[in-house]
Structure 1
Amino acid sequence: MTRLARVVGESMAPTYRPSDLLLTRPAGRVGAPAARGDVVVFRHGGHRMIKRVVGLPGDLVALEAGRLSINGVALAGGRAVRGAFTQSWSVPAFSYFMAGDDPETSDDSRVWENPFVAFGSVDAVVVRRLPWNRRARTLRLRRTGAAAAQAA
């Protein structure tokens, strides 16, 4: 069963912007688990959030000079900064490490007291962004097949 989610805030920019509508599929107990790189809707600290899964169970996630790396591989490329502050986390079983696409504004695993999100807290995986016209406040749906021919 698919559901819609609306983006609030700038933490997933530039991938998703505030007011974007996202089509999702169930995750966790109901559906397939999320994979690394998936954008998910989940509950954390009493809030519903949308973030990207970057760490899976058993991964070593490190934050060095503002750059994330997973098992020694930098997410955004670039080299390690010699002498920079480093913090690391080992992702426990049945948990994820989450990050927003805009690290400057994202409230995510990098700053949470408990940085891990349990599998059971993930409600849905984002499938795609719907074509939302912010000015007209309508969906821009393409017509296909007979509907397109009839409209012409």
Structure 2
Amino acid sequence: MNLNLFGYEISEKFKDSERFDIVIFKYPDDESRLFIKRVIGLPGEVVEIKDGKVYIDGSPTSLDDSFIPEKMIGSYGPYTVPENCYFMLGDNRNDSKDSRSWKNKFVRFDQIVGKAVVRYYPSFKWLG
């Protein structure tokens, strides 16, 4: 599927990414490639996926994932997110190559190059 987006470059004004932001970043296993994924785990948090649901810091309540197109399958982690790093998941989680499958599991702040703000194909949608 082709996906066309507009994004903006990260500056000091937008220093910290927040959970659920969709960001463009240098792929941790090959920084010559750009990836786009959703921020799930923030610096210092523990992310665990149990039966397809994402939990942060041992919370009994999973994150809201109502935006993903199908229920995620599987259990992963726990992953402790280092300082100045983020844990990423794709929205098509059953087919996504994301933090769960990378050799270098986390995206450093300095690898983030922008935030996606609008998708214009296949349909127009504000993301930020």
Q: Please say whether Structure 1 and Structure 2 have the same fold, judged by a TM-score greater than 0.5.
A: yes
Structure 1 residue runs of 5 or longer lacking an equivalent are 1-17, 78-83, 135-139, 141-152
CA distance in structure 2 between the partners assigned to 1:110 and 1:59 by the alignment: 15
> Is 1:51 the counterpart of 2:37 in the alignment?
yes
1:21-68 per-position Cα deviation (integer Å, ceiling 9, x unaligned):
111111265743221100011111222111000000011100223322
Aligned AA for 1:74?
S
Are the equivalent residues in 2 in contact too, given 1:28–1:34 (CA < 8 A)?
no
Contact 1:28 1:122 in 2 (8 A): no
TM-score (norm 2): 0.74
1:75 corresponds in structure 2 to: 63
**Which structure 2 segments of 5+ residues have no match?**
66-73
Q: How does 1:1-152 map to 2 (within 5 A)?
A: 18-27=1-10, 31-44=14-27, 45-46=29-30, 47-71=33-57, 72=59, 73-76=61-64, 87-130=77-120, 132=121
| Pair 107,28 (structure 1): closer, same or farther in 2 beyond 3 Å | farther
Of structures 1 and 2, the larger Rg is shown by 1
Aligned mates of 1:100, 1:23 — CA distance in 2:
18
Matched positions, count: 111
Identity %: 32
CA contact (8 A) 2:21 2:39 kept: yes
Provide the C-alpha distance between the structure 2 equivalents of 1:92 and 1:60, rounded to a whole number of angstroms. 9
* RMSD of equivalent CA atoms: 2.5
Match of residue 71 from structure 2? none
Instruction: Considering Cα pairs closer than 8 Å and 6+ residues apart, tell me whether 1 or 2 has the greater RCO.
Output: 2
Asked if the contact 2:76/2:100 (under 8 Å) is kept, the reply is: no
Question: Could you state the TM-score of these two structures normalised by the residue count of structure 1?
Answer: 0.63
